[in-house]
Amino acid sequence: MEVTTKSMPYEAWKDNEYIEKLVKELQDAGTNIVVGSLDKLINWGRSNSIWPLTFATSCCGIEFVSLGAARFDMARFGWEVARSSPRQADFMMVAGTIVNRMVPVFRRLYDQLAEPKYVIACGSCAISGGPFRKSYHVAKGIEDIVPVDVFVPGCPPRPEAMIYGIMQLSRKIKVERFFGGVNRQESQKEFLAAHPVEGVND
Amino acid sequence: MTNSLNDILITMANITEKISKLFPQAVIEGDTTPVVTIPNAQWHDLALALRDDADIRMDYLITITGMDWTDRLGAIYYLMSTTYNKIIGVKVIAEGDRQQPWIYSAADVWKVATLFEREVFDFLGIIFVNNPDMRRLFLSIDWVGYPLRKDYDQNPELNPVSTESERQTDFTDVYTLDENGKIVKNEVRVFEKDDFVVNIGPQHPATHGVLRFRTAVDGETVKKIDVYCGYIHRGIEKLCENLTYPQTLHFMDRMDYFSAHNYHHALCMLYEKAAGIEISRRAQVIRVMMDELSRIASHCLFIGTYCMDLGATTMLFYALRVREQILDIMEKTCGARMTFNYECIGGVMQDLAPDFRADVKALLEVLPRNIKEYNDVFTGNVIARNRMEGVGVLSREDAIAYAVTGPSGRASGWACDMRKLQPYSIYAELDFEEVTATEGDSMARFKCRMREIEESAKILAQLVDNIPDGEYCVKVPKVIKLPAGQWFQVTEGCRGAFGLYLESDGSTKPYRLHIAPPCLPQAAVVDHLTRGQKIADLITIGGSLDYIVPDIDR
């Protein structure tokens, strides 16, 4: 099963192996016709309406604003409903540096997101601390604080890169098991522990 | 007017003469920007004299730089006279040992000093005696050590990254001297005992980033706001001390990311001045054009986000259209949409893109139409007028006392444009008007920015056909070493006066680079502006000041 969108050929995607691994696992477990079809239906809806949390600490946040404006227009993909409350959002685009004082706040925001929840580490500061890595007051990447689904490198990433990052997240959502999967019994952390990405420690 | 006045009446020599007459112990070095060294015991008297003496009138405190010279600690106050347009530095060496160094506070002389002194205390542990609010500013109250001291222990185990909420307190410290000259610490409440305190931020869409207001409210009315910074404090000043001069430049892009070109330009100029490098005319013109393009883009984003704060989401799309056009121009030349890293020591990184001129002309053509559109859609709108007119009025005196510069200060009638007051690069030759207003309310701040776009366009129109030929970057040594010394400079960012203090010990790295951002005083003034206003007005006032939180925190 090739997980892709209409406008983009499968070969154009990067990191297809990870998605294929997820698909294989789904097929190996055997699919219940009823629940499987429901999964598909719900995931179709979920993957096309992922709502971001309005969260930005620095430069990357401005590119996220550009993403919402007319030129890049994330409304095309169904992501335009940026919520200011984490309880109404699906994913968190960590746009900017996370510093020591921000860490507890950031963690609480993550905890407040409703399950199933996703995190995109956007920009080099969120990934590793970036140019501020050697500072006394900067967290060296957010993976130590919360599990991360997609990394978008750049300083700041271009809006196109952000679009690609969120599209990858959307692909991942498409192949998840919603019933008995990400929705209830399995917490995000356990899910990621069971599906390690090579070379990345969550 | 100020220019002609100061030429006739007061020269720098008059001021230094007067100071040495009043305070014979003061040691004065330098001539254009002299630095006065004064014993701590006389510092407060000197501060009062500097502000109030009719021949000096240093009423604007630009910044306080905390210093650690390893054998002693101290602070350098940079002051400017708004009457005579002169800048002076005052160096005060702290008394006491490294455990408890102290200086008399000047918080009662310049209002903004309260916050500036907190910053120095946070970074260097210098206690300001009689400051009404001597808490840490950016770091948590349990932070171990003072980061800008040269012997600071950076071991992450001392100050670990923790997901536990940091300890909060309702008290602040006030240090006073008792009759024996000993320092006494007194605890004072930040708010009154039965105040109802609401948290606004750090995660709030209207604070423009991660700024937190602890707001005491009485129903809908704001009683007091305690501004809580540090949620994006990245320690840029400390990082710079371990990097070579060219390496420090890229941090300028990441503080006020809208003034990236302006800040870069400022730091390059400072290094060039210190190293004695002359840059070509072509590079100067390119830099000024980039500065003005940034200013237009920055003000466009301000219009967009501010109107969105007030509920007019459509304006964001209108205003970002122009911004995207400018970003395209910059991308063609600099290769990036943000964090350009374009200016370098000796000029600029690369030559202009071939169609730069045509693109700028195309921009200048659409700009008047767009501004007219903004005015039609928003400025005259009755809801906008009701929400902005008369809200958050800042008087000229308060703007100076709180050091609110940039368009926000000019909206209060204070002509504080550093491009006019302290002309740098080629600004002295350019024909543009300094935009000021007298109302001082949110509407005036909004309109000032709107008109500044037109003035910037005027500058661009003058330059676009007059970009001289020549090299875009002069040859500079591979390894840049600056002679030992101190330099201070103020330039105009998109949001106000941007000060830089550099102290060099003759090596390839700065001994101390202090960055005085325009946004920190603007955060300090929020409390003053919102008292007695409604909570909804807090959004209007905060938005109209247009602070950028990474610029406050650095």
- Pick the closest to residue B493 from B285, B283, B252 (CA basis): B252
Residue B143 sits in the same domain as residue B16: yes
Per the CB < 8 Å rule, is A62 touching B338?
Answer: yes
Q: Which of B122, B234, B548 to mutate: most A Cβ within 10 Å?
A: B234
pLDDT at A168 over 80: yes
CA A131, CA A125: separation in Å to the nearest integer? 7
The CA distance from B499 to the nearest CA of chain A, in Å, is 21
At position A160, the amino acid (one-letter code) is: E
Q: Spell out the residues 6+ positions from residue B179 whose beta carbon is closer than 8 angstroms to its own.
A: none
pLDDT by residue, tens only, chain B of 554 residues:
444 444 445 677 777 888 888 888 878 887 778 888 888 888 888 888 888 887 788 889 999 999 888 888 899 999 988 888 888 889 898 888 888 888 999 888 888 999 999 999 999 989 998 888 888 888 888 888 899 888 888 888 888 888 888 888 888 888 888 888 788 888 888 888 888 998 887 888 777 778 888 899 988 899 999 988 889 898 899 999 989 998 898 888 888 888 889 999 999 999 998 888 888 888 999 999 999 999 999 999 898 888 888 888 888 888 888 999 999 999 999 888 888 888 888 888 888 888 898 999 999 999 999 898 888 888 888 888 888 888 888 898 889 999 999 899 999 988 888 888 888 888 888 888 888 888 888 889 998 998 999 999 999 999 888 888 888 888 888 888 888 888 899 999 888 899 999 998 888 889 999 999 999 998 889 889 888 888 888 888 888 888 888 888 88
Q: Is A61 on the interface with B (CB under 8 A)?
A: yes
Query: Strand, coil or helix: what is A76?
Result: helix
What is the number of other CB atoms lying within 10 angstroms of the CB of residue B184? 11
Q: How far is CA B291 from the centre of its chain?
A: 16
CA B358, CA B362: separation in Å to the nearest integer? 6
What is the CATH classification number for the domain harbouring B448?
1.10.645.10
CATH number, span A27-194: 3.40.50.12280
Q: Is A66 on the interface with B (CB under 8 A)?
A: yes
CA B511, CA B255: separation in Å to the nearest integer? 20
Residue B307 covered by a domain? yes
Per the CB < 8 Å rule, is B235 touching A138?
Answer: yes
pLDDT at A110 over 70: yes
Quote the DSSP letter at residue B202: S
Residue B167 covered by a domain? no
Residue B514 covered by a domain? yes
Query: Of A200 and B530, which is predicted with more confidence?
Result: B530
Nearest residue of B to residue A102 by CA position?
A: B231
Q: Is A1 on the interface with B (CB under 8 A)?
A: no
pLDDT above 70 as % of chain A: 84
Tell me what ipTM this predicted complex has. 0.84
Q: Is A139 on the interface with B (CB under 8 A)?
A: yes
CA B22, CA B389: separation in Å to the nearest integer? 46
Query: Strand, coil or helix: what is A29?
Result: coil
Considering CB atoms only, which of B147, B163, B323 is closest to A103? Answer: B163
Residue B226 covered by a domain? no
Q: Is B135 on the interface with A (CB under 8 A)?
A: no
Residue with structure tokens 């098991």?
A177
Please report which confidence band the pLDDT of residue A199 belongs to, taking 50, 70 and 90 as the band edges: low
Q: Do β-strands A118-122 and A150-152 pair in parallel, antiparallel, or remain unpaired?
A: parallel
Element housing B269 (H / E): helix B260-275
Query: Of A180 and B456, which is predicted with more confidence?
Result: B456
Q: Which sequence spans correspond to the domains of chain A?
A: 27-194
- The domain in which residue B135 lies consists of 2-158
Among B110, B127, B158, which residue terminates a domain?
A: B158
Q: Is B155 on the interface with A (CB under 8 A)?
A: no
Considering CB atoms only, which of B140, B239, B321 is closest to A70? Answer: B321
pLDDT at B6: 46
Residue B135 sits in the same domain as residue B263: no
What is the CATH classification number for the domain harbouring B17?
3.30.460.80
Considering CB atoms only, which of A55, A136, A155 is closest to B159? Answer: A136
Residue B455 sits in the same domain as residue B310: yes
Q: Is A70 on the interface with B (CB under 8 A)?
A: yes
Residue B431 sits in the same domain as residue B538: yes
pLDDT at B514: 92
Considering CB atoms only, which of A105, A109, A137 is closest to B234? Answer: A137
pTM listed for this prediction = 0.86
Sign for the pseudo-dihedral over CA of B58, B59, B63, B67: positive
**Tens-place pLDDT, residues B218-249:** 888 999 999 888 898 988 999 999 899 988 98
Q: Is B154 on the interface with A (CB under 8 A)?
A: yes
The CA distance from B4 to the nearest CA of chain A, in Å, is 42
Residue B452 covered by a domain? yes
Q: Is B147 on the interface with A (CB under 8 A)?
A: yes
Residue B123 covered by a domain? yes
Q: How many domains does chain B have?
A: 2
Contacts of A65 in chain B (CB under 8 A): 301, 305, 316, 320
Among B125, B158, B191, which residue terminates a domain?
A: B158
Q: Is A87 on the interface with B (CB under 8 A)?
A: no
CA B81, CA B60: separation in Å to the nearest integer? 6
Size of interface A-B (CB pairs under 8 A): 130
pLDDT at B1: 43
Residue B307 sits in the same domain as residue B426: yes
**Tens-place pLDDT, residues B196-205:** 998 887 888 7
Return the minimum-mean-pLDDT range out of A27-31, A42-46, B241-245. A27-31
Among B141, B158, B175, which residue terminates a domain?
A: B158
Sign for the pseudo-dihedral over CA of B417, B421, B424, B426: positive
Q: Do β-strands B127-129 and B60-68 pair in parallel, antiparallel, or remain unpaired?
A: unpaired
